[in-house]
């Protein structure tokens, strides 16, 4: 009996893995930019980002690549007056985040958009949260940040640094996801 359960789990993981990789490959072949996979952040990472961001009061915050809403809802738990927006390209993760909001955060003020961050305007935000690969950030998001973000706006990036002369950089080392990591805080000059 036990062997059948193990075999069932292995088959399910294999099917899930092949499906995910096929979707990733299809996505990669149909787009110009680099594919940024879904990797959920852990609670140590969210804590470190929240502390590093030095959020005050009711700032307008956006989480780019918001996945199933972990950063967004954790921020709302800590700072109920924040106005938080999430933008996520993957429709399944977007729907999951919506369901999570509907179940557990009905009274909070947040917005969840399904779409490509490359087409989203960041002008309205004072704090930007990121957990995305550097090549995508540098090629797609940095030109937009340089044009759209106001002076003083903070970009808080988990694990991956970004390259821009328009921002000052502060690196904060911490432990998360089981190893030594870093949060980068960029402030627009």
Ligand X SMILES: C[S@@+](CC[C@H](N)C(=O)[O-])C[C@H]1O[C@@H](n2cnc3c(N)ncnc32)[C@H](O)[C@@H]1O
* Window 85-104: contact mask with ligand X (x via CB under 6 A): --xxxx--x-----------
49 is a site residue for ligand X (CB under 6 A): no
Looking at beta carbons only, is 8 or 40 nearer to ligand X?
40
Looking at beta carbons only, is 31 or 171 nearer to ligand X?
31
Looking at beta carbons only, is 8 or 161 nearer to ligand X?
161
Q: Which residues contact 135 (CB under 8 A, 6 or more apart)?
A: 34
Residues 148, 189: Cα–Cα separation, whole Å: 13
Looking at beta carbons only, is 71 or 76 nearer to ligand X?
71
- The partner residues of 39 in beta bridges, in order of sequence, read none
Residues 80, 186: Cα–Cα separation, whole Å: 24
In 3D, which of 165, 171, 164, 158 has the Cα closest to residue 142? 164
Question: Total binding residues for ligand X by CB under 6 A?
Answer: 21
* Binding segment toward ligand X, per CB under 6 A, in 97-105, 110-118, 142-150, 176-184: 110-118
């Amino acid at each position: 009996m036990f062997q059948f359960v193990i075999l069932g789990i292995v088959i399910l993981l294999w099917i899930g893995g092949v499906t995910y990789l096929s979707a990733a490959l299809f996505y990669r072949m149909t787009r110009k930019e680099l594919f940024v996979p879904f990797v959920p952040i852990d609670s140590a990472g969210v804590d470190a980002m929240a502390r590093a961001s030095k959020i005050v009061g009711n700032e307008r915050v956006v989480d780019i690549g918001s996945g199933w809403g972990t950063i967004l809802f954790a921020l709302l738990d800590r700072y109920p007056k924040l106005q938080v927006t999430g933008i996520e390209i993957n429709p399944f993760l977007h729907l999951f985040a919506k369901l999570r909001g509907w179940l557990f955060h009905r009274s909070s003020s947040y917005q969840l958009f399904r779409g490509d961050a490359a087409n989203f305007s960041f002008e309205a935000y004072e704090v930007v949260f990121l957990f995305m690969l550097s090549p995508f950030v540098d090629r797609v998001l940095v030109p937009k940040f340089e044009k759209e973000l106001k002076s003083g706006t903070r970009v808080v990036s988990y694990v991956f640094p970004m390259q821009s002369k328009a921002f000052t950089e502060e690196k904060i080392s911490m432990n998360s996801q089981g190893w030594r990591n870093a949060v980068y805080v960029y402030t627009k000059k």
